[in-house]
Chain A
Amino acid sequence: MNKTILGYVPEESPIYNTHPATRILFLLIVSLFPMFISAPEWNLLLVVLILILMRYSRIDFSILKLYVPVAVSMGSIILLSYTVFAGNHPEFHELARVLGIRIYYERILDAITVYFRILPMIFIMIYFLSTSRERDIIVAMRSLRIPYAVTYLVAMALRAVGMVIEDFSIVRQAEQARGFDPVGKSIFYKMRKFVMYIIPLFALALRRADEFANALIARGYSFTGLLSNPKRADYVLTHYQAHYWDYLISFVLIVMLVALVVMRYGLGMLSLEGSLTEQLLRAWLLN
């Protein structure tokens, strides 16, 4: 199993046949797709395609449970933002009035449009984080000729995230060993007690900074050395090779992006007006 940023993915997952730079390109380009699509059904289709891709990549779907509260929270907030906090608009079709708040058909349609625009972006991010290991991001950055100092900083930062999570777990266990038990307590209690984690985390990080820096200096690293792109032993020893399908995927992604821009702004397609969602909602709420 490969440990990725969000979980574990089998080593034989087909996603690892692609070059890490292709996966970064996928994140950056496909995240743009929903911005050119207003019709919710097309964005929903994009979500379904990403789910299929997740299944194909053998990602454990239980990771999605973590994001259910986020998706529900975002959906609720968008809906509130577009209904309760949307103000008075006599030009819109009023559907109902709840406690003096006017609910408009156009605002509900807008909320659905926005929600279904943001949803694929979340799924793309989950897909990327579920399949990417720290080393993939570093390799991708090196392939893109990003300066050594920047790549090294990102590598250390990603490693630091893992270390802080371990530290967090150690601190939590230490607190529990001393009788601290937040189970069943309110969220405000937990937030207040968060200080018991943040100070040890900082203190550990400060101590570790010295150890880290000393270790690097002992290996001949210097700030100027970091900046001047010297040849150094690479701690990522696996050699990645871009295959023809990497170029093909990259090319297809770029073509799809251009096609979407043309469809949206040249041909007026993928817009909300006349979309299936709009027709269904209009039939349901207005007729």
Chain B
Amino acid sequence: MSDATMSAEQSAEEVWAVEEGEERSVGVIHIVITALLIGIGAVVGAFGSFTLPLGFGVNFFWPAIAVQNVGSIWFGAWGVIAAALFPIISNGVAGTPVYVSLAYIPANAVQAFLPAWAFRQFKGDPRLRKGRDWAIFLISITLGNIFGAFWGPMVVLKSFGLLTTDSLPLFIWGWFAGNEIAGIVFGVILLKALSGVVIRSRAFVKKWFA
């Protein structure tokens, strides 16, 4: 039986299940995939930061959110680590001060962590086969983006004295919409197009680290 046929027959539970006798351990491939995710995220994120910037790393359209969401679903904690780190590079290239970028780390980490956790906890299929998988994806990324949208403007930008209280809603909506739309559009396409390949690769992470 070919790998492709096996993958097509795998149920959502089987995607995440560690088979009897199957040994999974952290390897060099995970370090490599983290580095590559940082690379993709930094380039894609910088593109977003230059396209429709609201300022201070907040954008009306940020396609790098898809790298955060999809990377963490496929590669677990490695995707979360990459998601937390790559905005420091992409924001930096776009002129965001280093301390603002560092303060965004919790928001970026949560935006990546929630989809990763939801797919593992509720055994969602990364190939988005059923309505349930779609619901897990949409709800998890929405909750992550809500957290990010509040953390970024309310905690970071407000504490740096960059925004007034009255202008917070603009930035909260800007962050949320910029991430949500791009996350849904690119996240869905990436998951549908590449999940079948990724779950068969040795880089795929079933638990959190391996």
The residues of A with any CB-CB pair to B shorter than 8 Å are 5-6, 27-28, 31-32, 35, 66-67, 69-71, 73-74, 77-78, 80-82, 85-87, 107, 110, 114, 117-118, 121-122, 124-126, 129, 149, 152-153, 156-157, 159-165, 168, 187, 190-191, 194-195, 198-199, 201-203, 205-206, 208-210, 212-213, 216-217, 221-223, 226
The 8 A-B pairs at the shortest CB distance, nearest first, are namely A160-B39, A121-B97, A156-B35, A81-B167, A157-B38, A87-B166, A85-B167, A213-B29
Closest to B36 in A: A205
CB distance from A25 to the nearest CB of B (A): 12
CB distance from B104 to the nearest CB of A (A): 14
Task: Jot down 20 A-B pairs with beta carbons below 8 A, ordered by A.
Answer: A31-B98, A69-B53, A70-B94, A73-B55, A87-B166, A121-B97, A121-B100, A124-B98, A125-B96, A125-B98, A156-B36, A161-B38, A191-B51, A194-B47, A195-B185, A198-B190, A201-B43, A209-B203, A210-B201, A216-B28
Residue B149 CB within 8 A of the other chain:
no
Residue B131 CB within 8 A of the other chain:
no
Cβ–Cβ contact A226 & B28, under 8 A: yes
Q: How many A-B residue pairs have CB under 8 A?
A: 187
Closest to B198 in A: A206
- B31, B43, B86, B98: the one contacting A156 at CB < 8 Å is B31
Cβ–Cβ contact B35 & A157, under 8 A: yes
Closest to B209 in A: A223
Residue B42 CB within 8 A of the other chain:
yes
Closest to B66 in A: A198
CB distance from A12 to the nearest CB of B (A): 26
Contact residue range for chain B? Answer: 35 or more
Closest to A113 in B: B161
CA distance A206 to B38 in the complex (A): 13
Chain B residues within an 8 Å CB radius of A194:
47, 63, 186
- A82, A187, A212: the one contacting B32 at CB < 8 Å is A212
- A107, A110, A149, A161: the one contacting B89 at CB < 8 Å is A161
CA distance A81 to B168 in the complex (A): 8
Contacts known (A67-B95, A118-B162); A195 close to B167, Cβ less than 8 A: no
Chain A residues within an 8 Å CB radius of B40:
160, 164, 201-202, 205
Cβ–Cβ contact B44 & A198, under 8 A: yes
Q: Which of B27, B39, B86 is most buried by chain A, counting CB atoms within 10 A of its CB?
A: B39
CA distance A243 to B28 in the complex (A): 36
Q: Which of A161, A194, A199 is most buried by chain B, counting CB atoms within 10 A of its CB?
A: A161
CB distance from B146 to the nearest CB of A (A): 21
CB distance from B182 to the nearest CB of A (A): 8
Closest to B170 in A: A85
CB distance from A218 to the nearest CB of B (A): 10
Cβ–Cβ contact A223 & B34, under 8 A: no
CA distance A5 to B39 in the complex (A): 13
Cβ–Cβ contact A73 & B53, under 8 A: yes
Closest to A201 in B: B40
Chain A residues within an 8 Å CB radius of B171:
81
CA distance A74 to B31 in the complex (A): 36
Q: Which of B34, B43, B197 is most buried by chain A, counting CB atoms within 10 A of its CB?
A: B43
B residues 1-42 touching A (CB-CB < 8 Å): 25-40, 42
Q: Which of A5, A110, A160 is most buried by chain B, counting CB atoms within 10 A of its CB?
A: A160
Chain B residues within an 8 Å CB radius of A164:
36, 39-40, 42-43
Contacts known (A82-B167, A202-B40); A223 close to B31, Cβ less than 8 A: yes
CA distance A27 to B98 in the complex (A): 8
Closest to B70 in A: A202
